[in-house]
Chain A
Amino acid sequence: MELFTNQVLAGIATGAIYACMALAVVMIYQAIDHLNFAQGEMAMFSTFISWQLMQWGLPYWVAFVVTLAFSFAGGIAIERVLFKPLAKAPILTQVAGFIALYSIINSFAGLTWDFTIKQYPTPFGSSPFLGSQLISTHQAGMIGITVLLLVGLYFFFQYTRVGLAMRAAAAVPESARLVGINTSWMIALGWGMAAAIGSIAGMLIAPVVFLEPNMMGGVLIYGFAAAVLGGLTSPFGAVLGGFLVGVFENLAGTYIPHVGNEMKLPIALALIISVLVIKPAGLFGRNIVKRV
């Protein structure tokens, strides 16, 4: 039983990261109806920026905030320069764009910072949390920050004008434009927020998986799995999906024979495919019915 509780708690902690990643994926999906395959690489790049800032002697939280601002601006810049001109292009072209972005960022990070594995500091420490043996303070910190982020986003979308405008622009762009919302900038804002949320996920997971250019590959696939499980149209679903996927992954790794660490990605693959087959809209996704 102790093993079980342990695994569930550890699953919730990694689930927090998947939840952040899934949230970032859903932010962009809401804005442009596409999955950003470069999301993980964007997060990885932000994490490297924060690492570099700390190498230059900035304290953790200063680096954290500067990185968030950088990612936000970077996300908006990418949308303005690269993806706005492609907005009307066929899906294939857009996917090609995401793949190109993935390839550029990955290679550029490798050139700048090398492919060697780097230690990444945690602001929470790694001692046991409140004296319990179940989770470490870092894991508790991961969960805490994710919850804070969620509450913040909830208030942003429910109680601010910009949040409302973003929701309107995502739901019915034409009508939103008619009431004077600049939908094009709402999309850019979505990119910026997604990039910032992704960078939080990157900075939180980096102490666990270590820092290197390919660190987000697996995390992104889990983020996708979580987003698909929760429904690509529901931020709440994405977060719940993240926690579920984290717990599921850990339990499967512990209790199903032959499933060790090496099976983690195939599990995500199986999860994505089975959700898409059984319930394509996900647990909390809206069923969008469009006219023929």
Chain B
Amino acid sequence: MSAIEDIASQAPAVEAVPKRAMTLSSGTSLVVVLLLLIVPLFVKNFIIFQMTMLLIYGLAVLALNILTGGSGQFSLGNSAFYAVGAYTSAILMEQYNVNYALTLPVAGVICFGFGFLFGQPALRLSGVYLALATFALATAMPQILKLGFFEPWTGGVQGLVVTKPDAPFGLPMSQDTWLYYFTLAITIAIYMFSVNLLRSRSGRAFMAIRDNEIAASAMGIDVATYKTLAFGVSAGITGVAGGLGAIAVQFVAPDSYTIVLAISLFLGMVVGGVGWLPGSFIGSAFIIFVPNIAEGISKGLSGAVFGVLLFLIIFLVPHGARQVAMVAQQVLGKVRKS
């Protein structure tokens, strides 16, 4: 059986999303950015920290969204790339005294490499097989990080403590506020990169592969290259998010990057709407705040709440927040007319 015959018979893994429907209108985007800039001036440090985490997980979900919503491959193993990014930043900062800002591009590049390499065997896998391979990757990652062989760098089971950077140039800002604006700048840059990527020639190639692989290859798209490229880009962005996450949380340990994290990212993507980039941040808010609320009700409940909500979403609003946003838009339009 050739890979092509196998793939051709399958329905697309993800439903098509029109290119223009992938982003917010420029007016809305501007309002959101302004809000993100102003709000931290008026809230407590803990809330600023949570907003930082929201952006960081948002980036990780965005990365998954590029892979799944863009090229139609999906991964249950992005937590592994997140872990590699986090460890890269932590090791460079703590063992080699590299500036925190410089560790992020390194984390991105290393994860891009890992993603690209992982994408090679993943090329021959589609649908469930890919989910399986990435699921195994996510399950194995904490064990790999605990290996005695890497212990001089990773600190083994104990993990590494990361120092939080101070605001540069003597700016009158708390560490949390500075880290928030730093993260916001990176988030906006990566978000714009992603939007442009998906609108570019490569992005159109991803989407062609997502919708029909055979048709795409018949049009002369190099399916193999673009699929591995999508994996690499996704892993690279996840790595940057992981690095930021390590700096924000000030700690990395193998057990922070289990299958639970992979499930959270996947859930965030489904909640936000697959293929709708702004939805990544809505999904990220969901995966940060819902467990807190659930834990408040009963400890250990968050998994069950996650699962039940996920079922409700795939039954009631299969397109996640994108669907809600579109319905809201239509209702608003009607209200204005009447």
A and B bound? yes
- B149 CB contacts on chain A under 8 angstroms: 258
Residue pair A273, B74 in contact (C-beta under 8 Å):
no
Residue of B12, B132, B274 near A35 (CB, 8 A) is: B132
Residue pair B125, A266 in contact (C-beta under 8 Å):
no
- A37 CB contacts on chain B under 8 angstroms: 76, 131, 135
- Identify which of residues 65-97 in chain A touch chain B, using a CB-to-CB cut-off of 8 Å: 82, 85-86, 89-93, 95-97
Interface size class of B (residues with CB under 8 A): 35 or more
Determine which residue in B132, B149, B305 has the highest number of CB atoms from chain A within 10 A of its CB, and name it: B132
- B121 CB contacts on chain A under 8 angstroms: 273, 276-277
- B124 CB contacts on chain A under 8 angstroms: 276-277, 280
Question: How far does the alpha carbon of A248 sit from the alpha carbon of B314 in the complex, in Å?
Answer: 40
Residue pair B15, A90 in contact (C-beta under 8 Å):
yes
- Identify which of residues 1-51 in chain B touch chain A, using a CB-to-CB cut-off of 8 Å: 1, 3-6, 8-15
Say yes or no: is A171 at the interface (Cβ < 8 Å to chain B).
no
Say yes or no: is B68 at the interface (Cβ < 8 Å to chain A).
yes
Residue pair A272, B307 in contact (C-beta under 8 Å):
no
Residue pair A103, B274 in contact (C-beta under 8 Å):
no
Residue pair A91, B127 in contact (C-beta under 8 Å):
yes
What is the count of residue pairs linking A and B with beta-carbon distances less than 8 angstroms?
A: 161
Residue pair A262, B143 in contact (C-beta under 8 Å):
yes
- A108 CB contacts on chain B under 8 angstroms: 303-304
- Identify which of residues 96-139 in chain B touch chain A, using a CB-to-CB cut-off of 8 Å: 121, 124-125, 127-129, 131-133, 135-137, 139
Give a binary string over B44-75; 1 marks a CB under 8 Å from any A CB, 0 the rest: 00000000000000000000000010000010
Residue of A82, A265, A292 near B9 (CB, 8 A) is: A292
Say yes or no: is A161 at the interface (Cβ < 8 Å to chain B).
no
Residue pair B263, A268 in contact (C-beta under 8 Å):
no
- A35 CB contacts on chain B under 8 angstroms: 128, 131-132
Q: Please choose the segment from A1-9, A46-54, A187-195, A283-291 that sits at the chain B interface, where 4 or more of its residues have CB less than 8 A away.
A: A283-291
Say yes or no: is B310 at the interface (Cβ < 8 Å to chain A).
yes
Give a binary string over A110-150; 1 marks a CB under 8 Å from any B CB, 0 the rest: 11000100000000000000000000000000000000000
Q: How far is the CB of B287 from chain A (nearest CB, A)?
A: 12
Give a binary string over B300-325; 1 marks a CB under 8 Å from any A CB, 0 the rest: 11111111101100110010000000
Q: Is the interface of B mostly helix, strand, loop or mixed?
A: helix
Question: How far does the alpha carbon of A37 sit from the alpha carbon of B139 in the complex, in Å?
Answer: 12
Residue pair A34, B128 in contact (C-beta under 8 Å):
yes
- A218 CB contacts on chain B under 8 angstroms: 139
Residue pair B137, A269 in contact (C-beta under 8 Å):
yes
Residue pair B314, A111 in contact (C-beta under 8 Å):
no
Say yes or no: is A43 at the interface (Cβ < 8 Å to chain B).
no
Residue pair B9, A291 in contact (C-beta under 8 Å):
yes
Say yes or no: is B161 at the interface (Cβ < 8 Å to chain A).
no
- Closest Cβ neighbor of A291 among chain B residues: B9
Say yes or no: is B147 at the interface (Cβ < 8 Å to chain A).
yes
Question: How far does the alpha carbon of A155 sit from the alpha carbon of B178 in the complex, in Å?
Answer: 69
A101-B307, A290-B6 known; A265 vs B129 contact (CB < 8 Å)? no
How many residues in A have their beta carbons less than 8 Å from beta carbons of B? 54
Say yes or no: is A10 at the interface (Cβ < 8 Å to chain B).
no
Q: How far is the CB of B121 from chain A (nearest CB, A)?
A: 5
Residue pair B129, A93 in contact (C-beta under 8 Å):
no
A90-B13, A91-B128, A111-B301 known; A217 vs B318 contact (CB < 8 Å)? no
Residue pair A262, B5 in contact (C-beta under 8 Å):
no
Q: How far is the CB of B76 from chain A (nearest CB, A)?
A: 7
Question: How far does the alpha carbon of A265 sit from the alpha carbon of B135 in the complex, in Å?
Answer: 12
Q: How far is the CB of B291 from chain A (nearest CB, A)?
A: 11
A103-B303, A272-B133, A290-B9 known; A89 vs B318 contact (CB < 8 Å)? yes
Residue pair A262, B306 in contact (C-beta under 8 Å):
no
Say yes or no: is A107 at the interface (Cβ < 8 Å to chain B).
yes
A104-B303, A289-B1, A291-B9 known; A276 vs B318 contact (CB < 8 Å)? no
28 A-B Cβ contacts within 8 A? A33-B128, A34-B128, A37-B76, A82-B311, A86-B314, A90-B12, A90-B13, A91-B10, A91-B11, A91-B74, A93-B318, A96-B266, A96-B310, A99-B307, A100-B307, A104-B311, A107-B307, A111-B300, A218-B139, A228-B132, A262-B143, A269-B137, A273-B121, A277-B124, A280-B3, A280-B124, A291-B9, A292-B9
Known: A224-B132, A262-B147. 19 other contacts (CB 8 A): A35-B131, A92-B74, A93-B318, A99-B76, A103-B263, A103-B306, A108-B304, A115-B300, A217-B139, A221-B135, A224-B135, A258-B148, A265-B140, A269-B137, A276-B124, A277-B121, A280-B129, A288-B1, A292-B214
Chain B interfacial positions (CB closer than 8 Å to A) = 1, 3-6, 8-15, 68, 74, 76, 121, 124-125, 127-129, 131-133, 135-137, 139-140, 143-144, 146-149, 214, 259, 263, 266-267, 270, 274, 298, 300-308, 310-311, 314-315, 318
